[in-house]
Amino acid sequence: MKNKKTPLVIAILFSGVFIGSLFGELCSKFLNEGVIKKIFFESVLIGIKEPFKLDLYFFYIVLGGGLKINFFALLGLLIASIFAYRIK
């Protein structure tokens, strides 16, 4: 039997990553360039940098995507996973 709380746990984890990334991006706007900014606020893009394009005569599709990860996104995921574990 499927657990009914699984969508809630996924939503909590997604929210944690989103809020952590948003917080990291906002805080990085206010810091000067330096070592601290490079360590904590630099994002790494994981995914397809150039989209895959399929062009048939009658059909056109573009596939691609990416995930920007920074320190605060991982911190948000950790906090959200602790919260989700307590709910489950």
Concatenate the DSSP letters of all residues of 31-87 into one string: SPSSHHHHHHH--EEEE-SS-EEEE-SS-EEEE--EEEE-HHHHHHHHHHHHHHHHH
Please, how many CA atoms are within 13 Å of residue 81, restricted to the half-sphere of its CB? 7
Tell me the average pLDDT across 55-64.
88
Segment 42-56 shows an average pLDDT of 83
pLDDT at residue 1 in the model: 47
Amino acid at 70: N
Mean pLDDT of the chain: 84
* Whole-number pLDDT of residue 43: 80
Give the Cα separation of 88 and 69 in Å (integer). Answer: 26
Q: What is the pLDDT of residue 2?
A: 66
Name the residue ranges covered by the structural domains of the chain.
6-87
Section 43-67 average pLDDT: 85
